[in-house]
Amino acid sequence: MINAHIEMDLNEHIAVVAAKVLELILISDGDLIFETLLKQFLKKYERYTPDQFMEASVLLFAIGSLEVKDFKVKLSHV
């Protein structure tokens, strides 16, 4: 279960980071190469790290919202 600690900055929570990743995918016109998505994410949200991006991507993949095929990312069910 993903719980936020009482003293945690909610902007650092994995669900918030995942929502920001989803937002970038929705804004794009088509399938994005995963590395391009990472670069766009880090450029737009300078406060986050590549590790946070990867954790959020793994969460989205695990719950079936993200599909990766041939290094391209697309949404499954959002």
* pLDDT tens string 21-65: 999 998 887 778 999 999 999 999 999 999 999 999 999 999 999
List the domain boundaries for the chain. Answer: 10-75
Give the mean model confidence (pLDDT) for residues 61-77: 86
* 34 contacts: CB under 8 Å, gap ≥ 6: 57, 68, 71, 72, 73
In this prediction the pTM is 0.84
Phi/psi at 72 (nearest 5 deg)? -105, 145
Res 1: pLDDT: 45
- The class level of CATH for 10-75 reads mainly alpha
* 37 contacts: CB under 8 Å, gap ≥ 6: 21, 24, 25, 28, 73
Res 78: pLDDT: 59
